[in-house]
Structure 1
């Protein structure tokens, strides 16, 4: 134990996502005893340049980004932001506010197919009501850009701010899961909305502008909505058609997701 952080060098460094389930179970048990910031430090120590973080600059993104900014040499950890080209103007402004505040320089990644080209060739895939069209949209705009960035950066483990209470799929997650050939770390997995609120308050973190308009989650402008009688949280995404964007699910879109 070093400053409360478990020493597992070798245990994770040599972990194969398709390897020993017992080894992965032991790592999960050890990580459960750590605070979220310690989990980030553990991953940074274990994977070095092979560790990265993803962010959406959404409603609750400031918490994990703030924790990262408190780590020594945090600038060496890539922060990957998938810009779909359809984010609300408020999100772009909020991202600049947070980056200026925390000293972050995100690695902004986008699809190789521009929004205009996609719409010309395939139409507005998000609004047809077809699951296959929505799969194609999410694959083009979110999953493929992220996977390309993870490949380019040789990432073996990446952290995100997903939480177990957000969707039924996320309720089945553990703090460390294999996903598409890499490990996914969820430092905030068991945090509640109350935990998020008080952390932001205690550290005087700025709130996303759309929060005051009733949004508890924000993605693309066309598929996000404020909480209301028809739903709240991620049940408002894509008109209720889909809660997950594909980034946090195994496999690729179209493989039974």
Structure 2
């Protein structure tokens, strides 16, 4: 798909509902669609949207080993509720192994070490998962309101590293829209989430940086 085609599709998809965008994406995938998740707050929305169209869609989750107990419980609850076809990818080192060799999670002020942490514990298993699952279409929960980098994106983009079309059906949704969807479909949420590879919500771990 060329840059011009992506721009044309974005212009059309902006007037479509999230379920319509998912259906369109699944139709483009020829059986090779996936959705990624980290089980952060509101992740139930993108997962529910995708499984309504393709119940067995592979769900790529990089479990870096540093999730809080509430996040693991949330993941289990959503897997049971939505019958997720979960594909878990783990780093080459466990969290305990990494900490023993390299020390604790780097602080937010240590950008260089955070990048190394992210590359080892998150990016490598994610890239391995993308290579093994080999999607043509990758659904994400990216939203414009999340941070300045994501505000520059759109519903449709090309991920150059994986050579895949990335679709964010809820890109223009607000938190109010997300809350309303959760309530409408009786879906749970979870707020005790922390991503050690990002340290705060304004940073990117690298998965969505071209």
Q: TM-score, normalised by structure 1?
A: 0.75
CA distance in 2, matches of 1:21, 1:102: 35
Of residues 91, 96, 120, the one that matches 2:100 is: 120
Decide whether the 8 Å contact of 2:10 with 2:156 is kept in 1.
yes
CA distance in 1, matches of 2:44, 2:108: 33
> Unpaired segments of 5 or more residues in structure 2?
none
Correspondence list, 1:91-106, <5 A: 91-106=71-86
Partner of 2:55: 74
CA distance in 2, matches of 1:79, 1:108: 8
Counterpart check, 1:107 vs 2:107: no
**Displacement after TM superposition at 1:163 (Å):** 0.7
Counterpart check, 1:47 vs 2:12: no
Partner of 1:138: 118
Correspondence list, 1:1-257, <5 A: 15=1, 20-71=2-53, 73-75=54-56, 77-127=57-107, 129-179=109-159, 180=161, 181-208=163-190, 211=191, 218-220=193-195, 238=199, 240=200, 243-250=203-210
Give the aligned CA root-mean-square deviation in angstroms.
1.9
Q: TM-score, normalised by structure 2?
A: 0.91
Task: Compare relative contact order (CA 8 Å, sep 6+) and give the higher one, 1 or 2.
Answer: 2
Could you give the per-residue CA deviations for residues 161-184 of structure 1, whole angstroms, max 9, x where no partner exists? 111001011110111111222221
CA distance in 2, matches of 1:74, 1:207: 20
> Unpaired segments of 5 or more residues in structure 1?
1-14, 224-236, 251-257
Decide whether the 8 Å contact of 2:146 with 2:201 is kept in 1.
no
Could you give the per-residue CA deviations for residues 104-128 of structure 1, whole angstroms, max 9, x where no partner exists? 1311111112222322332224237
| Partner SS state of residue 209, structure 2 | coil
CA distance in 1, matches of 2:154, 2:108: 34
Structure 1: which 4+ aligned runs deviate by more than 6 Å?
Answer: none
Most deviating of 93-102 and 117-126:
117-126
Count of residue pairs the alignment pairs up: 208
CA distance in 2, matches of 1:163, 1:106: 22
- Summarize the Cα distance change of 1:128–1:70 in structure 2 as closer, same or farther, 3 Å threshold: closer
| Partner SS state of residue 129, structure 1 | coil
